[in-house]
Amino acid sequence: MNQDLSSEQLHRLMEQEKVFLLDVRSPETFNQGHVEVKSPSSLINIPYFDLLKDPQASLTELIKNDTEHQLPKNENIIVVCARGRSAKSVADALRTLGYQASILIGGMQSWRDLDVSKAIIESTELSIYQICRVAKGCLSYVITSNGVAAIIDPARNIQPYVDLLKKLNVKPQYILDTHAHADHISGGRELANQFGIPYYLHPYDGIHPMDMLPATFSYEASWANKIYPLGNINIEALHIPGHTLGNQAFLIDQRYLCSGDSIFIQSIARPDLGGQAKTWTLLHYESLKKLMALPDTILVLPGHFSGPQEANANHTYSKRLGDLKNENAGLLEAKKSAAVFSEYILSHLPHFPPEYIDIKRVNLGLLVVDNEKASELESGKNVCAVSH
Ligand SMILES: [Fe+2]
Ligand SMILES: [Fe+2]
């Protein structure tokens, strides 16, 4: 196969078979985010400028002399760069040497914009769609019942939700954010404005935890245990402070839990992004205990995933609460004492991306940025989980 691939086509191919990726960007940009593969041996970073280090030699000669031993002979090699231009030169040189080579059209810029929607369940009574923002590791949800819909944690690019609602021919009724996000810019307000429906947030999250300034827009209060009737089912807000003070999970029809930033598949959310790590860790502990008391059969639908290794066979991200209680590194610690849990959390906090303070300002209307700045602020993969 020597056919170049769009980000959608590459994603589909990676779900079906093992592919070999050659990323030709600098190590610095590669480390800031790259296409993630299940098997680490299927991804290699050889910077384009390393391939051009001898101005006398052609790219083909340089690959032949220096790089050939690192590349598989009988697999299709997908070359990835920032926008698709240098990848093309490398793919051409590889083909000259007899390799099968393609490029990711539009490079990482296109991969960063990729959203993939998959059904968790589909019926008239209840349908749940998981919208995966692949590069960022963010998951959001469209819940429908009997012709109406709720959208949970929509991302900045609202088009996938607008398209899906249109395709399903359902009328949006609620926009719910589990919390004021720090890792990405919410599309909640924009969607709510577009459809003329309410945007809900827990009021504790309507205040920036560091600036101590309130949101500059009005929203509807999503208080603890508020019930959102949706068609034939109910969605219940569960207040689970810890990751943020106003953090919420949404229990759907008593069977599914949109856990937002609390329980992920392998890890749990970090409680330090408000600058109150010690105090909020104890709140987090109590909230996780509350969630773990729910029935084991509940299917947890997280707000993030850490990589494709967490995907189910049908390429969605979910797990039964009962299994998570026995496997999730953070929940295993939450079964112990508060002191042990605190020690675990405080020794497993990843770096605090400084842009997270500004992203939350944008989400509360305290800072206005243009599209270019918004993309720059949320360009990296999310760092919302405790390390595991
Ligand atoms: Fe978060
Ligand atoms: Fe997050």
Both 14 and 156 in a single domain? no
Residue 245 within a domain: yes
Total count of domains within the chain? 2
Of 62, 85, 110, the one marking the end of a domain is: 110
Which CATH number do you get for residue 85?
3.40.250.10
Residue 381 within a domain: no
Residue 331 within a domain: yes
| Distance from residue 356's CA to the centre of ligand 1 (Å) | 10
Both 122 and 211 in a single domain? yes
Residue 348 within a domain: yes
Both 103 and 123 in a single domain? no
Could you read off the pLDDT tens digit of each residue along the chain, which spans 388 residues?
668 999 999 999 999 988 999 999 999 999 989 999 988 889 999 998 887 777 777 888 878 877 877 888 888 999 999 998 999 999 998 999 899 999 999 999 999 999 999 999 999 899 999 999 999 999 999 999 999 999 999 999 999 999 999 999 999 999 999 999 999 999 999 999 999 999 999 999 999 999 999 999 999 999 999 999 999 999 999 999 999 999 999 999 999 999 999 999 999 999 999 999 999 999 999 999 999 999 999 999 999 999 999 999 999 999 999 999 999 999 999 999 999 999 999 999 999 999 999 999 999 999 999 999 999 999 889 999 999 7
Of 74, 92, 110, the one marking the end of a domain is: 110
Both 119 and 104 in a single domain? no
| Beta strands 76-80; 100-103: pairing state | parallel
- The residues that are catalytic are 81
Residue 292 within a domain: yes
For residue 243, give the ligand nearest its CA: 1
Both 275 and 131 in a single domain? yes
| Distance from residue 301's CA to the centre of ligand 1 (Å) | 15
Of 61, 89, 110, the one marking the end of a domain is: 110
| Distance from residue 273's CA to the centre of ligand 1 (Å) | 8
Residue 357: how many other CB atoms lie within 10 Å: 18
Which CATH number do you get for residue 288?
3.60.15.10
| Distance from residue 181's CA to the centre of ligand 2 (Å) | 6
Q: Write down the residue that tokens 């997270």 correspond to.
A: 356
Both 99 and 119 in a single domain? no
Q: What is the reported pLDDT for 1? A: 63
Spell out the alpha helix ranges (H) of the chain. Answer: 7-16, 27-32, 48-51, 59-62, 85-96, 107-112, 159-168, 188-195, 277-292, 321-327, 329-334, 338-346, 355-363, 371-377
Both 103 and 121 in a single domain? no
For residue 179, give the ligand nearest its CA: 1
For residue 264, give the ligand nearest its CA: 2
Residue 63 within a domain: yes
Both 268 and 359 in a single domain? yes
- pLDDT tens-place string over residues 217-268: 999 999 999 999 999 999 999 999 999 999 999 999 999 999 999 999 999 9
| Residue 64 belongs to domain spanning | 7-110
**43 in Cβ contact with 150 (< 8 Å):** no
Residue 380 within a domain: no
State how far the alpha carbon of 309 is from the alpha carbons of 88, 193, 315, 338, in Å: 29, 37, 10, 30
Both 101 and 127 in a single domain? no
Distance from chain centroid for Cα 376:
16
| Distance from residue 305's CA to the centre of ligand 1 (Å) | 12
Q: How far apart are CA 193 and CA 151, in angstroms?
A: 13
Both 173 and 315 in a single domain? yes
Both 207 and 321 in a single domain? yes
Residue 73 within a domain: yes
Both 47 and 179 in a single domain? no
